[in-house]
Amino acid sequence: MPTSSHLLRWSTEMLPERARFSALREEFARQNLALDVIDHSGGRPRIDVTYLPLGTVGVCGLVATPAEFIRHERHLKNSSDQFGLNIIDTGPLQFAYAGQERVYDAGSACLIDRGRPLRVFGPRGGSVRFVIVHASALKSLVAHPEDLLGRAVRPGPVLSLLDGYLRSLTSLEDPPSPGLASTIGVHLLDLMAATLGPTAEAANIVTDRGVKAARLRAILEEVARRFSDPNFDLDNVAGALGLSRRYVQKLLEGTGKSFTEHLAGRRLERAFAMLTDPRHLHLAIVDIAFAVGFGDVSHFNRMFRRRFAETPSGVRAASIKRERSDSPPNLLRHIGTRIRSGSSDVENRYDTIRNRLCP
């Protein structure tokens, strides 16, 4: 795999159809994946790969039509002294590894030594996410990980945290900064160790560092996913993640905001985005308030003005006026200009909110 700091996204759909499989096999799989590929799709192969290096840790997601991936001895020169934990998203996938053959179903995982030959076959296609770490780093947290090679790691709370973390990373549009990438890499190593079983000396370290960070990320993602539900509350988050109310509150204290503040922030940002999006100009402000999860319009108006130093109707009026005066291709760009004629707080927030939240 490449070791640059850039996020790699690659797909067979990028290749000319006539030479698609030969280019996949010769120019990408052997050079970048260190694998040979045998097509079992009936001549219509598709493989999508995402790879993100995070310091000494690598994260990869791979989705494929029916195919066979084979790592021969000749592929191993650059893969020694690395472990990989594979999490099966869709399957089943058949692994021939270390003299044994095993079938792994969706939701399970397995540890491999990347310095050994491997054959993986997905008879119905499949997808897998995996994290790659240096052997010495994992051995500092897990005693004799080589004894776990090939064994199925069954679904559990920590494996779910790790998988959720990997899922969010492989969906990024841009790579994190080098400093953040290094921190994320440490968190993933901790989660990998916690999944496999850390030593007694390392147990508290991985829990207080990587596991704690992953739980906080999961809490914030749950808020981002369900904020528009008017009945969504702290108990829902705690129940969904198998945590206590108090533990959720304690983790959020580290962000400097309470659960209520995070929830309100998400709702208000989404409301702002809807009010400045031409596709939602037909909606009344009360409809937008309800759509983002507020149950009381007066409360929504007060919080919106406190957050953006402008009323919802003021933001809406600026958007409508700009829509009438602009040509359609430049509409969203010029809405920002019009809004900037209002408060400085609205001006500072406009571009970020629009780019991040507008559907």
Nearest to 39 by CA among 70, 18, 84, 73: 70
3-state secondary structure 10-75: EEHHHCCHHHHHHHHHHHHHHHHHCCEEEECCCCCCCEEEEEEEECCEEEEEEEECCEEEEECHHH
Nearest to 118 by CA among 141, 106, 105, 100: 100
* pLDDT for the residue 79: 59
* 3-state secondary structure (DSSP) of residue 92: coil
DSSP-derived letter for residue 175 is: P
* pLDDT for the residue 3: 43
pLDDT band at 335 (very low <50, low <70, confident <90, very high): very low
**Mean pLDDT calculated for residue range 134-138:** 94
Question: Where are the alpha helices (H) located in the chain, listed in sequence order?
Answer: 20-23, 135-139, 157-170, 178-196, 200-206, 212-226, 234-241, 245-253, 259-275, 285-291, 297-308, 312-325, 331-339, 344-357
CB 176, CB 48: distance < 8 Å: no
Instruction: Count the alpha carbons within 13 Å of 216 in the hemisphere toward its beta carbon.
Output: 20
Spatial separation of the C-alpha atoms in residues 127 and 149, rounded to whole Å: 20
CB 7, CB 174: distance < 8 Å: yes
Dig out the tokens for 326 from the structure. 């602009």
Spatial separation of the C-alpha atoms in residues 310 and 339, rounded to whole Å: 10
pLDDT band at 313 (very low <50, low <70, confident <90, very high): very high
Q: What are phi and psi of 200, to 5 degrees?
A: -60, -35
pLDDT digits (tens, 9 = 90+) for 256-301: 999 999 999 999 999 999 999 988 888 999 999 999 999 999 999 9
349 CB neighbour count, 10 Å cutoff: 18
All residues at 6 or more sequence positions from 192 whose CB lies less than 8 Å from its CB, including other chains? 85, 131, 133, 138, 162
pLDDT digits (tens, 9 = 90+) for 14-72: 888 777 777 777 766 777 677 888 989 988 889 999 999 998 899 999 999 999 999 88
Instruction: Count the alpha carbons within 13 Å of 243 in the hemisphere toward its beta carbon.
Output: 24
* pLDDT for the residue 138: 96
Q: What are phi and psi of 174, to 5 degrees?
A: -135, 150
Dig out the tokens for 298 from the structure. 């007066």
Spatial separation of the C-alpha atoms in residues 112 and 249, rounded to whole Å: 37
Q: What is the pTM of this model?
A: 0.76
Q: What are phi and psi of 243, to 5 degrees?
A: -120, 165
Dig out the tokens for 353 from the structure. 């909110």
Distances (CA, A) of 88 to 136, 152, 352: 25, 11, 35
